[in-house]
Structure 1
């Protein structure tokens, strides 16, 4: 039986329009652990949309800050949650100019409309702060990560932090679809742009919290365990 995994994610407040939008696109509310009323973007096929969102549905609506990890020996969930609560109190929120729907390779996600050095610093501080709670990567997990082509710097990050896309390799994104057929990617991006514009007003976006998510086993979906307002 696999051990639980934890992750440090950005997840919007559960009462926010952004959380409702992302959860509806994925068809899953990671706070309740239940299906969310599905939002199929205009022009997309309701029969195929659940297939397009199957992979991100496992994780819930989020942006990865510290990738999933098993707890290090001698560490408990209670200690992890207490540390997260105390650490969040010392952090400052980050205001982005906005979020934009973008195609990232074969999938579609929300990304900052402009780069933010403050967000990069916040993300890396969380990666480093929670490192004492992370168990070393298993050989299977390391091999899985090494299947992707990595730069020397990304390989060093993998060895140091168990994940290659941190530090200057970090790109904040809130995934909305899994890998799409090439002929569908452009259509889906445009449809999600329209759906996002209809659901949320244009304007700044505040990264004002982080969350702990828990996955009971590798076959399970992630659940939102705690949300910690910054400051």
Structure 2
């Protein structure tokens, strides 16, 4: 089993529901969801272009998937995640937008959000002791020869190349695309998500995801609210 610490909105959030439809699967129930009818892009094309992110579900990576260290347990991870989340204050991403990152699309912050960078770095450091060291095969799957010096150092130190200064918050919505498909896919994403991207997105929880066996889809195991319990009760 592998674990990951991600951000994802609550199950009933409009953005969560729209993303589940686009990707074709609910990351909470694990059940298939019908793709939307979007002008200019057939349902079969959406299914094809979302095959890779469908397995991981709608999320932004904070701590990339990891096996538990041999001397750690799921119960201990859960206790620490609950404790740690309680030390953090919720905040808002002012606005997300559809953006292209290399050859794939996702939702990215429209403006810089230092709170996101701080949160991601804090999660990576706080939970690194729970992560089993990468095997040689896992390192090779990261294509180390194609990484920059900083990314390579991150891979060996933190188990993932895109952390710390290399971190870029994104919520993946497609797999790799051919250049000829960029325009149609971007237009379809804009039509589907634009009505939901005018309001700020609240970051008020950390989500523990699980992959129960190799190749299985990732699913939400539990949400861990940010902020002190007393403050949440008063609110």
TM over 0.5: yes
For 2:10, which of 6, 10, 13 is the aligned residue? 13
Say which is worse superposed, 142-151 or 55-64, in terms of deviation.
Answer: 142-151
For 1:127, which of 124, 129, 134 is the aligned residue? 124
* Contact 1:40–1:49 under 8 Å retained in 2: no
SS at match of 1:21: helix
Going from structure 1 to structure 2, the CA distance change for 1:42 and 1:208 (only over 3 Å counts) comes to farther
For 2:214, which of 218, 227, 230 is the aligned residue? 218
SS at match of 2:97: strand
SS at match of 2:161: coil
For the pair 1:35 / 2:32, whether they are aligned, the reply is yes
SS at match of 2:188: helix
Match of 1:143 in 2: 140
Say which is worse superposed, 177-186 or 62-71, in terms of deviation.
Answer: 177-186
For the pair 1:88 / 2:85, whether they are aligned, the reply is yes
* Contact 1:56–1:177 under 8 Å retained in 2: yes
Q: Over residues 62-116 of structure 1, what are the superposed CA-to-partner deviations in whole Å (9 max), with x where a residue is unaligned?
A: 0111100000011111111111111101011222220000111111100001011
Distance 2:27 2:95 in 1: 24
Going from structure 1 to structure 2, the CA distance change for 1:98 and 1:142 (only over 3 Å counts) comes to same
TM-score normalized by the length of structure 1: 0.95
TM-score normalized by the length of structure 2: 0.93
Structure 2 unmatched ranges of 5 or more = 228-235
SS at match of 2:146: coil
Q: Over residues 6-50 of structure 1, what are the superposed CA-to-partner deviations in whole Å (9 max), with x where a residue is unaligned?
A: 000011111100110111110011111111222243321112211
